[in-house]
Amino acid sequence: MPIAPVPVPRRFEGRSVVVTGAGTGFGAEIAVRAAQEGARAVGVHYRSSAEGARRTAGRVAAAGSTPVLLQADIADWEQIKAMAGTAFDRLDGVDALINNVGDVAREQMSWRDITGESIDRVLAVDIKGTMLCVHEFGARMLEAGHGAIVNIGSTVIVRGSARAPQYAAAKYGILGVTKSYAHAFAPAVRVNVFAPGFIETEATLGRQDWQSGRGDQLRSLTPMGRIPGPAELAGPALFLATDDAAHITGTYMVADGGYNMVGA
Protein backbone atom coordinates (compact mmCIF):
# COMPACT_ATOMS: atom_id res chain seq x y z
CA MET A 1 0.00 0.00 0.00
CA PRO A 2 1.16 3.62 -0.58
CA ILE A 3 3.39 5.20 2.03
CA ALA A 4 1.87 7.72 4.43
CA PRO A 5 2.09 11.32 3.21
CA VAL A 6 4.87 13.45 4.65
CA PRO A 7 5.06 17.24 4.91
CA VAL A 8 6.16 18.89 1.66
CA PRO A 9 9.45 20.82 2.14
CA ARG A 10 9.93 24.32 0.70
CA ARG A 11 13.15 23.61 -1.19
CA PHE A 12 12.46 25.98 -4.12
CA GLU A 13 11.31 29.09 -2.27
CA GLY A 14 11.77 32.08 -4.59
CA ARG A 15 13.25 30.01 -7.41
CA SER A 16 12.12 29.21 -10.94
CA VAL A 17 11.87 25.70 -12.40
CA VAL A 18 11.27 24.51 -15.97
CA VAL A 19 9.94 21.00 -16.58
CA THR A 20 9.86 19.51 -20.07
CA GLY A 21 7.06 17.16 -21.02
CA ALA A 22 4.90 18.58 -18.24
CA GLY A 23 1.54 18.29 -19.93
CA THR A 24 0.87 14.81 -18.59
CA GLY A 25 2.25 11.99 -16.45
CA PHE A 26 5.48 12.28 -14.48
CA GLY A 27 6.38 15.71 -15.87
CA ALA A 28 3.08 17.18 -14.73
CA GLU A 29 3.61 15.88 -11.20
CA ILE A 30 7.17 17.28 -11.07
CA ALA A 31 5.91 20.69 -12.16
CA VAL A 32 3.16 20.70 -9.52
CA ARG A 33 5.53 19.48 -6.83
CA ALA A 34 7.98 22.30 -7.64
CA ALA A 35 5.14 24.76 -7.12
CA GLN A 36 4.15 23.08 -3.86
CA GLU A 37 7.76 23.43 -2.72
CA GLY A 38 7.66 27.20 -3.12
CA ALA A 39 8.88 27.84 -6.68
CA ARG A 40 7.92 31.39 -7.62
CA ALA A 41 7.44 30.38 -11.27
CA VAL A 42 7.22 27.05 -13.12
CA GLY A 43 7.76 26.65 -16.86
CA VAL A 44 5.38 23.99 -18.18
CA HIS A 45 6.73 22.67 -21.47
CA TYR A 46 4.70 20.67 -23.96
CA ARG A 47 4.89 19.76 -27.64
CA SER A 48 1.34 18.79 -28.62
CA SER A 49 -0.59 18.22 -25.38
CA ALA A 50 -1.77 21.81 -25.00
CA GLU A 51 -4.86 20.82 -23.04
CA GLY A 52 -2.79 18.77 -20.60
CA ALA A 53 -0.31 21.63 -20.22
CA ARG A 54 -3.13 24.02 -19.38
CA ARG A 55 -4.39 21.60 -16.73
CA THR A 56 -0.89 21.38 -15.27
CA ALA A 57 -0.61 25.16 -15.32
CA GLY A 58 -3.87 25.41 -13.41
CA ARG A 59 -2.57 23.06 -10.73
CA VAL A 60 0.70 25.01 -10.54
CA ALA A 61 -1.24 28.24 -10.03
CA ALA A 62 -3.43 26.61 -7.38
CA ALA A 63 -0.26 25.67 -5.51
CA GLY A 64 0.74 29.32 -5.38
CA SER A 65 3.24 29.55 -8.24
CA THR A 66 3.15 31.43 -11.54
CA PRO A 67 2.86 29.01 -14.48
CA VAL A 68 4.46 29.82 -17.83
CA LEU A 69 3.48 27.67 -20.81
CA LEU A 70 6.36 26.77 -23.14
CA GLN A 71 5.69 25.00 -26.45
CA ALA A 72 8.46 23.38 -28.50
CA ASP A 73 9.47 20.26 -30.35
CA ILE A 74 12.36 18.96 -28.23
CA ALA A 75 14.03 17.40 -31.28
CA ASP A 76 14.33 20.76 -33.09
CA TRP A 77 17.37 22.85 -32.10
CA GLU A 78 15.94 26.18 -33.26
CA GLN A 79 12.77 25.61 -31.24
CA ILE A 80 14.82 24.73 -28.15
CA LYS A 81 16.89 27.91 -28.55
CA ALA A 82 13.69 29.93 -28.77
CA MET A 83 12.15 28.13 -25.79
CA ALA A 84 15.22 28.69 -23.63
CA GLY A 85 15.25 32.37 -24.48
CA THR A 86 11.55 32.70 -23.73
CA ALA A 87 11.89 30.80 -20.45
CA PHE A 88 14.74 32.95 -19.16
CA ASP A 89 12.86 36.08 -20.15
CA ARG A 90 9.38 35.23 -18.86
CA LEU A 91 10.55 33.46 -15.69
CA ASP A 92 13.17 36.14 -15.00
CA GLY A 93 15.91 33.52 -15.12
CA VAL A 94 15.80 29.74 -14.71
CA ASP A 95 17.25 28.17 -11.57
CA ALA A 96 16.46 24.54 -12.36
CA LEU A 97 15.64 22.52 -15.47
CA ILE A 98 14.08 19.07 -15.28
CA ASN A 99 14.46 17.27 -18.61
CA ASN A 100 11.59 14.83 -18.32
CA VAL A 101 10.40 14.57 -21.91
CA GLY A 102 11.15 11.26 -23.61
CA ASP A 103 9.80 8.65 -26.01
CA VAL A 104 9.62 5.12 -24.58
CA ALA A 105 8.31 3.44 -27.78
CA ARG A 106 5.28 2.49 -25.72
CA GLU A 107 3.40 0.99 -28.66
CA GLN A 108 6.17 -1.56 -29.26
CA MET A 109 5.71 -4.87 -27.43
CA SER A 110 8.70 -6.79 -28.85
CA TRP A 111 12.12 -6.17 -30.36
CA ARG A 112 10.73 -7.90 -33.48
CA ASP A 113 8.44 -4.94 -34.05
CA ILE A 114 11.21 -2.33 -34.20
CA THR A 115 11.16 0.08 -37.15
CA GLY A 116 13.60 2.59 -38.53
CA GLU A 117 11.08 5.34 -37.87
CA SER A 118 10.83 4.36 -34.20
CA ILE A 119 14.62 4.24 -33.81
CA ASP A 120 14.98 7.70 -35.32
CA ARG A 121 12.17 9.17 -33.21
CA VAL A 122 13.32 7.74 -29.88
CA LEU A 123 16.95 8.74 -30.40
CA ALA A 124 15.97 12.20 -31.64
CA VAL A 125 13.79 12.93 -28.62
CA ASP A 126 15.63 11.11 -25.83
CA ILE A 127 19.27 11.80 -26.72
CA LYS A 128 19.30 14.73 -29.14
CA GLY A 129 16.46 16.52 -27.39
CA THR A 130 17.91 16.08 -23.93
CA MET A 131 21.33 17.23 -25.10
CA LEU A 132 19.91 20.32 -26.81
CA CYS A 133 17.99 21.31 -23.68
CA VAL A 134 21.05 20.83 -21.49
CA HIS A 135 23.16 22.76 -23.99
CA GLU A 136 20.85 25.76 -24.40
CA PHE A 137 19.53 26.11 -20.86
CA GLY A 138 22.89 25.21 -19.32
CA ALA A 139 24.79 27.81 -21.36
CA ARG A 140 22.38 30.50 -20.14
CA MET A 141 22.66 29.25 -16.55
CA LEU A 142 26.43 29.42 -16.87
CA GLU A 143 26.18 33.07 -17.92
CA ALA A 144 23.97 33.72 -14.88
CA GLY A 145 26.51 31.96 -12.64
CA HIS A 146 24.27 29.25 -11.20
CA GLY A 147 21.77 26.52 -11.98
CA ALA A 148 20.93 22.84 -11.76
CA ILE A 149 19.80 20.40 -14.44
CA VAL A 150 18.20 17.02 -13.81
CA ASN A 151 17.84 14.62 -16.73
CA ILE A 152 15.20 11.97 -16.18
CA GLY A 153 16.80 8.67 -17.08
CA SER A 154 15.71 5.09 -16.46
CA THR A 155 16.87 1.92 -14.79
CA VAL A 156 16.34 0.23 -18.16
CA ILE A 157 20.05 0.83 -18.79
CA VAL A 158 20.87 -1.64 -16.00
CA ARG A 159 19.09 -4.62 -17.52
CA GLY A 160 18.45 -3.56 -21.12
CA SER A 161 15.11 -3.93 -22.86
CA ALA A 162 14.13 -6.91 -24.99
CA ARG A 163 10.94 -5.00 -25.76
CA ALA A 164 12.51 -1.78 -27.08
CA PRO A 165 16.32 -1.81 -27.49
CA GLN A 166 16.26 1.70 -28.96
CA TYR A 167 14.78 3.04 -25.73
CA ALA A 168 17.50 1.42 -23.59
CA ALA A 169 20.18 2.74 -25.96
CA ALA A 170 18.76 6.25 -25.78
CA LYS A 171 18.57 6.30 -22.00
CA TYR A 172 22.14 5.01 -21.79
CA GLY A 173 23.19 7.88 -24.04
CA ILE A 174 21.79 10.36 -21.54
CA LEU A 175 24.52 9.28 -19.12
CA GLY A 176 27.16 10.43 -21.58
CA VAL A 177 25.37 13.73 -22.12
CA THR A 178 25.06 14.26 -18.37
CA LYS A 179 28.67 13.50 -17.49
CA SER A 180 30.00 15.60 -20.36
CA TYR A 181 28.07 18.72 -19.45
CA ALA A 182 28.66 18.16 -15.72
CA HIS A 183 32.36 18.60 -16.55
CA ALA A 184 31.76 21.48 -18.95
CA PHE A 185 29.52 23.51 -16.65
CA ALA A 186 31.25 22.89 -13.30
CA PRO A 187 31.32 24.35 -10.77
CA ALA A 188 28.52 26.85 -11.43
CA VAL A 189 25.93 24.50 -12.94
CA ARG A 190 25.30 20.94 -11.82
CA VAL A 191 23.97 18.22 -14.17
CA ASN A 192 22.65 14.87 -12.91
CA VAL A 193 20.44 11.93 -13.85
CA PHE A 194 17.44 10.79 -11.83
CA ALA A 195 16.49 7.25 -12.77
CA PRO A 196 13.10 5.99 -11.65
CA GLY A 197 12.13 2.38 -12.01
CA PHE A 198 8.64 1.48 -13.17
CA ILE A 199 5.98 4.13 -12.53
CA GLU A 200 2.25 3.54 -12.66
CA THR A 201 1.29 6.44 -14.89
CA GLU A 202 -2.05 6.38 -16.71
CA ALA A 203 -0.23 5.35 -19.89
CA THR A 204 1.52 2.44 -18.13
CA LEU A 205 -1.67 1.25 -16.45
CA GLY A 206 -3.37 1.21 -19.84
CA ARG A 207 -0.79 -1.04 -21.48
CA GLN A 208 -2.00 -4.51 -22.44
CA ASP A 209 1.06 -6.27 -21.00
CA TRP A 210 0.62 -4.43 -17.68
CA GLN A 211 -3.01 -5.50 -17.45
CA SER A 212 -2.09 -9.06 -18.40
CA GLY A 213 0.14 -9.67 -15.40
CA ARG A 214 3.31 -7.65 -16.01
CA GLY A 215 2.46 -5.25 -13.20
CA ASP A 216 1.83 -8.04 -10.70
CA GLN A 217 5.07 -9.75 -11.73
CA LEU A 218 7.13 -6.60 -11.19
CA ARG A 219 5.54 -5.92 -7.81
CA SER A 220 6.49 -9.42 -6.68
CA LEU A 221 10.12 -8.80 -7.72
CA THR A 222 10.36 -5.41 -6.00
CA PRO A 223 11.54 -5.53 -2.36
CA MET A 224 9.28 -2.57 -1.51
CA GLY A 225 6.37 -4.63 -2.80
CA ARG A 226 4.69 -2.02 -4.98
CA ILE A 227 5.05 0.23 -8.01
CA PRO A 228 4.65 3.95 -7.17
CA GLY A 229 2.58 6.53 -8.95
CA PRO A 230 4.27 9.59 -10.48
CA ALA A 231 3.44 11.98 -7.64
CA GLU A 232 5.42 9.89 -5.15
CA LEU A 233 8.62 10.19 -7.21
CA ALA A 234 8.31 13.89 -8.06
CA GLY A 235 10.01 14.95 -4.82
CA PRO A 236 12.98 12.61 -5.26
CA ALA A 237 13.39 13.78 -8.87
CA LEU A 238 13.63 17.38 -7.70
CA PHE A 239 16.12 16.54 -4.93
CA LEU A 240 19.08 16.71 -7.31
CA ALA A 241 18.19 20.34 -8.09
CA THR A 242 18.12 21.42 -4.43
CA ASP A 243 20.79 22.87 -2.17
CA ASP A 244 20.96 19.53 -0.34
CA ALA A 245 22.57 18.15 -3.52
CA ALA A 246 25.01 21.04 -3.86
CA HIS A 247 28.05 18.72 -4.02
CA ILE A 248 26.48 16.21 -6.43
CA THR A 249 27.09 16.44 -10.17
CA GLY A 250 27.50 13.94 -13.00
CA THR A 251 25.79 11.21 -11.02
CA TYR A 252 23.04 8.63 -11.65
CA MET A 253 20.51 8.33 -8.82
CA VAL A 254 18.09 5.40 -8.76
CA ALA A 255 14.63 5.18 -7.19
CA ASP A 256 13.18 1.75 -8.01
CA GLY A 257 12.08 0.22 -4.72
CA GLY A 258 15.14 -2.04 -4.68
CA TYR A 259 14.35 -3.80 -7.95
CA ASN A 260 17.89 -3.41 -9.37
CA MET A 261 20.00 -2.48 -6.33
CA VAL A 262 22.63 -0.78 -8.46
CA GLY A 263 26.02 -0.07 -6.93
CA ALA A 264 29.19 -1.59 -5.54
Is residue 44 a contact partner of residue 56, using CB atoms and an 8 Å limit? yes
Quote the longest CA-to-CA distance of the chain.
Answer: 51
4, pLDDT greater than 70: no
Q: Which residues contact 241 (CB under 8 A, 6 or more apart)?
A: 12, 17, 95, 96, 98, 148, 149, 150
Once rounded to an integer, what is the mean pLDDT over residues 169-196?
A: 97
Per-residue model confidence (pLDDT) at position 217: 87
What single DSSP character describes residue 162?
A: S
- Domain-by-domain residue ranges, the chain? 16-105+113-254
What's the CATH fold of domain 16-105+113-254? Rossmann fold (3.40.50)
**Contact by Cβ (8 Å): 134, 189:** no
Distance between CA atoms of 194 and 229, rounded to whole angstroms?
A: 16
* Amino acid making up residue 107: E
Which residues have a catalytic role annotated? 167
Binning pLDDT at 50, 70 and 90, where does residue 264 land? low
pLDDT bracket for residue 213 (50, 70, 90): confident
- Per-residue confidence (pLDDT) for residue 73, from 0 to 100: 96
Q: Is the pLDDT of residue 124 over 80?
A: yes
Q: What is the pLDDT of residue 108?
A: 83
